[in-house]
Chain A
C-alpha cells in the first residue's frame, strides 16, 4: 500500500478541519440555533417596565389639585466606582445629597440608594459616571393646601397610596404599567431598537372632585384664623350644595397634631343644640306639635330624672318656633316628651346618624346612635339636646341639607366625575336621594324657624346685610378622656343655610374647646360662618349661582332692626325673669365686623352702565365641548371660548381636547386643547 504523501496528509487534515468546522457551525446554527438565538437576544435586549402615571385629581372647576411628574432616584454601586472622590465631587456639583454615601463607604456597603428625588436635568451630568444608576420615579405634585391634602391623601416613595382619595380610589388612579424592549449598547446602556417593542402604559383615570378650590381656600383660611384667635384645639368647616349633595369644601384644623386624617368625616362629636330642629321636624311631621304650640319652660330650669336642665335664655313659656329660636333646652325636652324613645331614635337614624355615609374616604366614622334599649333614664332627654349622640360634621351638614332642599336626604358625594386617560367620561355623579325624611311643608316650616334663629335668635352674628341666612347654633360640653364632661370645655358649632330662603350652601362651622370667655356657637361659630359667606360672595368662582342669588337679595324695605337687645325685649314680653344674653361680645376675626344698627341697613343699588347691555343672556347650563378638529389653534380657542369654556393649551404627539369633544361640561370648565408637535 502506497503511503500517503505528506502533502496529502496536510490536505486531509485541512479537509477534516473544514468538515469539523462546518459540522460545528451546522450544530450551532441548525441544532442549537434557537437556544443560541435566545441567549443572544437576552444579552442584547432587555424588557423594562414603564410605570403608568397616576391619574390627575382636579377640582370642580378643572383646576389641578394633584398630578404626577417624572423624577429620578440616584443609586451608587460602590464596586463599580473607580474614583470615589471624583464621584462624590460630581454628586455635590449636581446638588445630590451624597452624605449617605460617606457612611455607606465607611460601612463597606456595595449598593446605596441616595435619599431624595431629582429632576432629570439636575442629574444629567452624572448619568454617565461608572457606578451611578439612575431610576425614573413618578412623584405626585400636590396643591399646597393642608385641607386639600387631607382629602386627597398621599402616596409613598414607591407610589403606593397611603390614605385619602389616593387610597380609596387607587384602582382608578394607578393605571396599568407598560413594558418596553430595549437594546443594550457596548457599555450596557439602554437603546431604543427597531427590533424592540413598546407596550405603552395606560395613565390612570382623571378624578374630578366636587370640591371648589376657591371656597376650600376660604374655609381653610378663616378656620385657621378662628382657631388661632380663639385658642381652640381645632375645628372643622364643611360646605355642601343641598340640592346635589356635592361637598364643596371640607376644611379641618387640629392644633399641635400633625393629623392627616380628614376629621370632618373621622371624628364624631356631640352636636348639642344643632339637633333641635330635627326634633321639631319630627314633631311637626308626626302631627305632635305645631310651630305655635306653647309649653311651660319653667323659667328656664327643669328638674328631670335626677338632674337639672337649664336654659341660657330664661322664659316661663315658649312656642315650638321660639324654642328653636332661643335654643331652649327645657322647651325641647318638654316638647320631646310627645315622642316615644323609638320615634326619637328613628328620627335620627333616618337622618343618617349612626352609620357611615359612604364617601370615598378611608376611616369614615358612622358616629354613635344607640338603640333605645340601651338608653338610660336620662338618655331620652339628653338626645333631644344633642347629647348621648355623636355625629360627624359631614353627617350633620347632610342632615341640614335635607331641610334646605325640601325634605330629601341626599347621598353626599365628593367625586363629581371620572374620566379615562383619553378624556372619555366613565362616571358622572348624579344627585341620589336616599330617602325623604320630612315633607316639603315641614322642611319649609323648619327653614322659617332657622331664619328666625339668625334674624332674632341666638345666632344673629351669622346674619348678612344683603342676604338672609338661616341656621342653628350649638354649644355642647365636651368630654375629656377618662374624666367625662369637664368645666370650660365646649364644642361651639353653627350650621347655616345660605341664602336663607333658597339655600345654595349648607355651611357647618365647628370649633373645639375654644379658650377664653367666648364659647357659645352663636357667638364664635356664627361669625366665622358670616366671614366665610362674605368671602365666598366676593370670590370670582365659589360655586354660587349668582343669577339665583340676585333674586334672593333682601329688599331694603323689609329690613328690621336686629340685635341682641331685640331678643331681650321680645323675651321680656314673655318672661318674668328677664335674661339678656350673657355674652354680648362676639368673635371678630378680621376686626371689621360690627353689630348692624338701623342706620346701617343696606340701601338699594342703582348702577348706570355706560356699555350697552349684552345682546343675549349667557346660558349657564352644562353643554357639550365643541369639536375643534381641523381648526387652527386660534379658531379652536375662539370656538371653545364662545362655548363658555376656559382653555389651556398643551402640546403633545396627538391633537384633541380634554374633555373630549361632545363631553357635557359646565361653563367655565378648563378644556385642555392639545395641539400636535411641530
Chain B
C-alpha cells in the first residue's frame, strides 16, 4: 500500500512539474505576445506621431506661404483695391510716460 502510494506521489510530482512547466511556458509566451503586440502598437503610434508632425510642418509652411506679403499683397490690391499706405497715412503714437499721463 505504502509502495503504491510512493509511486503515485512520484507520478503526481512529475505531472505537477510538467503542468508547472506548461504554465510557465504559456505565461512566457503570453507575456512575449503581449509585448510584441504593444511594441507594434507603439510603432504604429510613433509612425502616427511622425506623420502628424510631418503634416504639421506642411500645414505650417502652407499657412506661412498663404499669409505671406507676396500672396496677400497681390490679393488685397486686386480684390479689395487696397494699397500700401503712404508714410503720411502712418501715425506713430509716442508712448506716454507715467509721469506725463493725465
Contact = CB atoms under 8 A, between A and B. Distances in A.
A592 B68 contact: no
A511 B68 CA distance: 24
A550 interface: yes
B86 A465 contact: yes
B36 A69 contact: no
Contact of A534 (B64, B87, B91, B93): B87
Top 6 nearest A-B pairs (CB, nearest first) are: A217-B69, A69-B57, A144-B65, A69-B54, A120-B51, A613-B96
Contacts of B43: 190-192
Contacts of A616: 98
B101 interface: yes
A64 B96 contact: no
A537 B88 CA distance: 10
B80 interface: no
Nearest to A616: B98
Contacts of B68: 143-145, 217
B95 A71 contact: no
B42 interface: yes
B66 to A, nearest CB: 9
A129 interface: no
A467 B68 CA distance: 27
Nearest to B51: A120
Contacts of A465: 86-88
A69 B91 contact: no
A441 interface: no
B86 A534 contact: yes
Nearest to A190: B43
A194 B35 contact: yes
Contact of B88 (A466, A535, A617, A618): A466
B36 A185 contact: yes
Main secondary structure of the interface of B (DSSP, over half): helix
Interface of A: 63-64, 67-71, 119-121, 124, 136, 141-145, 183, 185, 190-194, 214, 217-218, 220-221, 464-467, 531, 533-535, 537-538, 546-547, 549-551, 553, 590, 592, 602, 605, 607, 609, 612-618
B101 A64 contact: no
A617 B58 CA distance: 39
B25 interface: no
Contact of B102 (A145, A533, A551, A613): A613
Contact of B70 (A183, A221, A546): A221
A144 B61 contact: yes
Contacts, number: 119
A489 to B, nearest CB: 30
21 contacts: A64-B60, A67-B60, A70-B53, A70-B54, A119-B58, A120-B54, A121-B51, A136-B50, A143-B61, A145-B70, A192-B39, A192-B43, A194-B35, A466-B88, A531-B84, A550-B92, A550-B93, A553-B92, A590-B83, A592-B86, A609-B93
A534 B87 CA distance: 5
B73 interface: yes
Nearest to A140: B57
A605 B84 contact: no
A649 to B, nearest CB: 12
B90 to A, nearest CB: 5
B87 A466 contact: yes
Contact of A69 (B58, B87, B89): B58
Contacts of A142: 61
Given A144-B68, A221-B70, A617-B98, A537 B58 contact: no
Which of A69, A534, A609 has the most chain B CB within a 10 Å cutoff? Answer: A69
A121 B96 CA distance: 55
B54 A537 contact: no
Contacts of B61: 141-144
Given A64-B64, A67-B57, A616-B98, 6 more contacts: A69-B58, A120-B47, A220-B70, A466-B87, A466-B90, A546-B92
Contacts of A64: 60, 64
Which of B58, B83, B84, B88 has the most chain A CB within a 10 Å cutoff? Answer: B84
Contact of A191 (B39, B57, B69, B88): B39
A591 to B, nearest CB: 9
Contacts of A191: 36, 39-40, 43
Contacts of B64: 63-64, 143-144
Given A63-B64, A120-B51, A547-B94, A214 B69 contact: yes
